[in-house]
Each structure stands twice: as structure tokens, then as C-alpha cells.
Amino acid sequence: MIKLIQIELYKIFRKPRTYIGFGAIAFIVIVVNLGFLFEGEQLLGFLIESLKDKFLLSGNLINAYTMAFVILNSLWIHLPILISITAGDMISGEANNGTFRLLLTRPISRSKLLAAKFISAWVYTVLLLLFMISFSLILGYLIFGVGDLIVIKSTISILSADDTLWRFGYATIYGILSMTTVTSLSFLLSSLSENSIGPIVGTFAIIVGLTIVSTLGYALIGPAIPYLFTTYLPSWDLFFTMELNTAKLTHAIYVNLAYTIAFITFTFYYFKNKDILS
Amino acid sequence: MPRKNDDKRYYLKQTKTYINLKKEVFLEFDHVSKQYNDFLAVDDLSFKVYEGDIFGFLGPNGAGKSTSIRMTLSLIKPTSGKITLLGKNIVNEREETLAQVGALIEKPDFYPYLTAQKNLEILGKISQVQKLSVKIDEVLDLVGLTSRRNSKVKTFSQGMKQRLGIAQTLLHDPKLIILDEPANGLDPQGQVDMRELIVRINKERGITVIISSHILNEVEQICNRMVIINKGKSMVEGNVSELLTGSRMKVSYVTDDNKRTLDLLTNSEFKNNINGIEKEKLTLLIEHESIPKLNDFLSNEGVKVYSIEPIRSLEEYFITMTK
């Protein structure tokens, strides 16, 4: 099994398209950091305008933590696309290239091959997420240093610099879980498709579609919203409040796990019985 | 490397070939069918491939050849019937049976961004080949690709990909290789080379070969047994030479006066054998054993025969069987 995973990882990292994700993240992180470097005072001033009357704000408010927090906010938008470029290609790419015939006529079980492919796609997802968070923190630190983090949501949380790094650690772990759900969705779509475009577009369409419906169609699907995995894609930010909402976090974790298990189970069942016609 | 002798196969050192004294059934299709919704792709198909055969698998487009081959390799599950390879059920004992088979299905597709060597390494590791680097050297040498081992496959010609396709089938020392249209996209010299390679693999390594091909001349030249299928059904199965010689064949004659020869034949016992005149050649449909008698007749009538050419080949036979 380890050998199979090594082979799949080797194939992933020999493909130029694999590096699109890392390149795109590096680009976003650099642009956001430069944006704050040159326009930071105006950007932050706009955000904290209403607070100035009641709070005395001083110190380094634009810092590595602010940068990483801002960049994490885009997690649910661009990371699923970048993940699906690789995860969505894991099965359909082999079908499209005709290499499935080569692999599946070897003395190896379909389930093992599929497991190796999923684990490899997951490793890619984890690396992508770790790269995004670590690069945001490191570049932010080099440019701005560290400082307190102000989080403005329905409540205002001012998190001291010493009380912030662990939150990024847990947010990363949660991010891995929610992006694993996205990976498994993309993997499922990949097993249903014979080309890579379908799973990429499909993953994005499902995530954006469900998010829009959740936002606009509350009257229509209101009771289902707490059970949609898309509802919890941005839930990493629950770690950035003074008091952790453990009930909501637990629910988010269960929903993500349930979807991940369901997507993977269906993929294995479908693929094990699939006629390979490509 | 030649395989070790067993109780049924004998290796002849002088000729470096194997002979089979007692043939064993290697692959058996037993009333196999495959239904796709309302389309019956393979219909109650039965045939046998024996150890040491170069077996031709023939049929027009859409006859069910590819489906049958994919079922043999467990890429597609049969709707009914049983496929056994070396006595094992391909569906129930998939991995054990696939360990004995090498296959090149349709196009030889590889990872284009990897070298030939890396492609073979990946496939060899998946097949758990022992001493993989030695084996890769051996198969690349056999197909004449040693000098291109470090080139990316995307730079390969179709012929080179086809040869690499053959190389990957041999990596794990299979007992049976299945080649689906192995001469596809090859130039005439490439087709000759491919034929020679297949015969060498069969004779020198004692590997049973199944070839699905549209190039019937190829099958006629290298296969000892064949099955012809049409609309998913077996039309005929047997020894190639026996099947071809056992029925009437088409022969063209060029004589000093074709018109006079035609008149003579029209008034002779051979009148029912006349097929017509095609491109200034007189053609007849005649049993193989009747040809000397016809030659004697023409000679006695003073007809000078410049050439006799058998036209009836596998193509004719194939068309007759699949009409």
C-alpha cells in the first residue's frame, strides 16, 4: 500500500498542473501582503472606523496574524478549485489518458488502488493548506512582524499576540477536515467522469450553488442548511473568538465527517463495480 | 529468460524454442454474455485458447471483440457465463489470474510526462516484479528501446509506443499476453517487426498469445488457431490452416487467352467454378484439391497458364463468415 501511495504521489508531483495550486496561493498571499503594505492604513481604517469612538487602538494592527486571517477568509472560495484540479483528475485523468487500462490489468485490487489515490489526493490537499497558512504567516511576519489580532464579526474579539498562534493551529486542523470533504467530493465526481473538466467544474458548482441557495433560498431549504457541508466550510473562524463555541464546532466536525464518509463510500462502491470502457 | 521446464512443456536447446506435447486449456469462455441496457454486446460466447497458441480473435467492428477482451482482463464484468484462466475464475480470483496475464489494450497509452523507464518502473512496482531494473533492461532490449529509455513517452512515435506497450506486457513474466490490434498505426515495416516480435515471444519464451486484429493477413501469417465472432456470437473456431483449406478458395488465372479459357471452362465440368473476369484475370471458386485437375485440363486444351494466384484468403473467409 505504501508503495502504491508513493507511486501516486510521484505521479501527482511530476505533473505541471500540480504546481498551479501552490503558485496561485503564493500569488494571492504576496498580493494581499503587498496590498496591506501599501494601502494597509486605509484598509484597516475603514474596518475599525466605528470602533475608534469606543476603543483606544494602538500598536501593530497590521501584522502576520491579520494577514493570515484575511487570507484564510478566502479559503472556501479558491482552495476547493485548486484542490479539485488535482483530486478531480485522480481517476478521470487516468480514464482520459487511457492509462486506467494499464493499471487495472495489473494484479492489484481496485479498492487498494482507489485508496492509494485518495490518500495521495488528501496528502496534496494537506500540503496545499499547510503551504497557504505557513506562507501567509511567514511572509506576514517578515513584512509586518507579529501583533494582536482584531476579529470583527457579530462580536469583536481582540486576541493578544500570545493567544493567537494556537488558534491558527486548530483552524488549520479544522481546515484540513473541511477540505478533506471537498477532496472526497471531487474524488467522487472524478470516478463518475471520463475527463478532468467535469469534476473541477462540478466541485465548484456544487459548493457555490449550495452556498448561494443557503444564502438566498432560506425559505426553501432553511431546515436543511445546518446539514449542508458548505455551511461549515468557513467554520475555521470559530477558533478566533474569545469563547469557543464548542457545540457549533462539534456539529461542524460531525457534518464534515458524515459527508466525507458518504462520498468515499459511494466512490468505492461505484468504482469497484464500474465497467472500464475508457 | 526461458522458463523452467514443467511436465508438459519442453525446451529445445538447439532451436531455443518450446514444444507442447500435451496442450492445456489456458483460457476458456463458457457461454459468456454481456448486456448493456438493451444492447447485447456479447451473446453466449464460448471458445478455448490452448497453451502455446497464437490465437487470432477476429470480428468486424462492433462484433464484441473489445468487450470480450476487457472481460478477460476483468475490466468489464460479464452479465452471465464464466471465464476461466488457467482453471481460475477471472471474476472471483481476479488478482491471481491477472498475475499470469500481460495486456496491451487498444492504444498503447502511457504517462506522457514520464520517461519509458519510469513508466515501466511504475507498472513493475504495481505488479510486484522482483529484480525490476534487470527485468526492465531485458524487456527494453527485447523491443529495441534501450537507447530511448530515458526519453519522455510524449516524444515517442506510434511504433515506439506500441513496442513499449509490448514491453510492459512482459514485465511480470506472464504466461499469456493479450494484444488488441497490436499493429494499429504502424507502417508496413513496423507491422513486419511487430509480427516477428510476437512470434519470438511465443517461440522463445513459450508465452501464449491472443491477438485481436483487423489485419487479417497478420492473423493468417502468425496465428495457429482463431475464433471469428460477429454480433457477439462465435461464428467459427479452429485451426487457421484447417479452416482456410477446408473450403472453396478463390483463384485467379492469367492465361495466353482468357476469353478462350473462359469458353473452354464454360463447356467443361468446371463451369460451376467460374467466378468471372476481374482486372483481366479469370477468377474461379474451387476446392484446393481440384486445382491440379483444372491445370491438367487447361494444359490438355493447349492453354498456356502464365500465373495462378490464390485470392481467397482469410479476408474472403472472414467476409463469408460474417455476412
pLDDT at B71: 92
B157-161, B182-186, B234-238: which range is least confident on average?
B182-186
Q: For residue B323, is pLDDT > 70?
A: no
In a domain, A59, yes or no: yes
- Report how far apart the first and last C-alpha atoms of chain B are (Å, whole number): 44
Lowest mean pLDDT among A32-46, B78-92, B267-281: A32-46
Residues 6 or more apart in contact with residue B1 via CB below 8 angstroms = B138
Phi/psi of residue B23, nearest 5 degrees:
-85, 140
| Chain B contact present for A115, CB below 8 A | no
Return the closest-CA partner of residue B219 out of B83, B20, B55. B55
In a domain, A277, yes or no: no
The answer for A 89-108 residues in CB contact with B (under 8 A) is 97-99, 101-108
What are the CA-CA distances from residue B323 to residues A38, A58, B67, B167 (Å)? 80, 91, 21, 37
Residue type, A232: Y
Size of interface A-B (CB pairs under 8 A): 71
Q: Establish if A278 belongs to a structural domain.
A: no
Q: Say if the Cβ atoms of B98 and A107 lie within 8 Å.
A: yes
Q: Any chain B CB within 8 A of the CB of A109?
A: yes
Taking contacts as CB-CB distances below 8 angstroms, the residues of chain B near A104 are 73-75
Q: Which amino acid is at A275?
A: D
Whether the per-residue pLDDT at B229 is higher than 90: the answer is no
Q: What cell was used for B13?
A: 536447446
Q: CB neighbours of B142 closer than 8 A, spacing ≥ 6?
A: B167, B170, B197, B200, B201
Which residues of chain A does B77 touch, with a Cβ-Cβ cutoff of 8 Å?
273, 275
State whether B77 and A108 contact (CB < 8 Å).
no
User: Is A106 in Cβ contact with B98 (below 8 Å)?
Assistant: yes
Q: For residues B178 and B168, give the distance between their C-alpha atoms in angstroms, rounded to a whole number.
A: 12
**A73 Cβ under 8 Å from any chain B Cβ:** no
> Tell me: the pLDDT tens digits for B248-267?
677 888 888 888 888 888 88
pLDDT, one tens digit per residue, over A140-190 is 888 888 877 777 766 677 777 788 888 889 999 999 999 999 999 999 999
- B114 interfacial to chain A (CB closer than 8 Å): yes
Query: By the CB < 8 Å criterion, does B259 face chain A?
Result: no
Joined together, the cell numbers standing for residue B166 give: 509490448
With respect to residue A120, please indicate whether it lies within any of the assigned structural domains.
yes
Contact across the interface for A7 and B125, Cβ inside 8 Å = yes
Q: Domain residues for A120?
A: 2-272
Tell me whether B71 touches chain A (CB under 8 Å). Answer: no
What tens digit of pLDDT does each residue of B110-140 get? 998 899 999 999 999 988 888 888 989 988 9
Residue B78 in contact with partner chain A when CB distance is under 8 A? no
Burial class of residue A116, CB neighbours in 10 A (0-12, 13-18, 19+): buried
For residue A200, being part of any structural domain is answered with yes
Question: In this model, does residue A256 exceed pLDDT 90?
Answer: yes
Please tell me whether the overall predicted TM-score, pTM, comes out greater than 0.80 for this model. Answer: no
Structure confidence at residue A124 as a pLDDT band (50, 70, 90): very high
Give the number of domains in chain A.
Answer: 1
- The amino acid sitting at B86 is L
User: DSSP label at A224?
Assistant: G
Tell me the DSSP string of B129-157.
-TTHHHHHHHHHHHTT-GGGTTSBGGG--
Sequence-distant (6+) residues with CB within 8 A of B219 are: B56, B58, B211, B213, B226, B240, B314
* A98 falls within a domain: yes
Cell matching residue B275: 467466378
Contact A181, A260 (CB under 8 A): yes
Question: pLDDT tens for residues A61-108?
Answer: 778 888 888 888 876 678 888 888 888 888 888 888 888 888 888 888
pLDDT recorded at residue B307? 85
C-alpha cell at A171: 483552524
β B281-286/B249-255 pair status: antiparallel
What would the pLDDT profile of A178-194 be if each residue is shown by its tens digit?
999 999 999 999 999 88
Domains in chain B: ranges and CATH: 24-100+174-245 (3.40.50.300), 109-168 (no CATH), 248-322 (3.30.70)
A201 burial type by CB count under 10 A (0-12 exposed, 13-18 middle, 19+ buried): middle
Can you give the pLDDT at residue A262? 96
Place of cell 499470469: B100
Rounded distance, CA B204 to CA A213, Å? 67
DSSP state of B32: E
The chain A residue lying nearest B76, using CA atoms, is A275
For the four alpha carbons of A269, A10, B150 and B3, in that order, the dihedral sign comes to negative
